[in-house]
Amino acid sequence: MCNICRQTPCPSMCPNADEPRAVYICSNCGETIREGEDYLSFMGEQVCMYCVEELTYEAEYIED
């Protein structure tokens, strides 16, 4: 049993938790996309959700 969080296996917020395996590298920021994480696959490229949010805009109708 882990002596920090007292759980087996460690939850992801525990510093002893195993890092999930890296599966892809984000084509936009170069960060690793790890097992179990959401990502966007587009035209053969993988983009992490952080970048997806950065690249997503809400359409707003602006009256003038």
Q: Are strands 22-25 and 32-34 parallel, antiparallel or unpaired?
A: antiparallel
Nearest CA among 4, 48, 26 for reference residue 12 = 4
Q: How far apart are CA 19 and CA 34, in angstroms?
A: 8
Q: Kindly determine how many residues on this chain lie close enough to bind Zn ion according to the rule CB under 5 A.
A: 12
Footprint on residues 2-61 left by Zn ion (CB under 5 A) = 2, 4-5, 10, 14, 16, 26, 28-29, 31, 48, 51
Q: How far is CA 53 from the centre of its chain?
A: 11
State in angstroms the smallest separation of the CB of 43 from Zn ion: 15
Residue 36 or 62: the one with the smaller Cβ distance to Zn ion is: 36
State in angstroms the smallest separation of the CB of 36 from Zn ion: 16
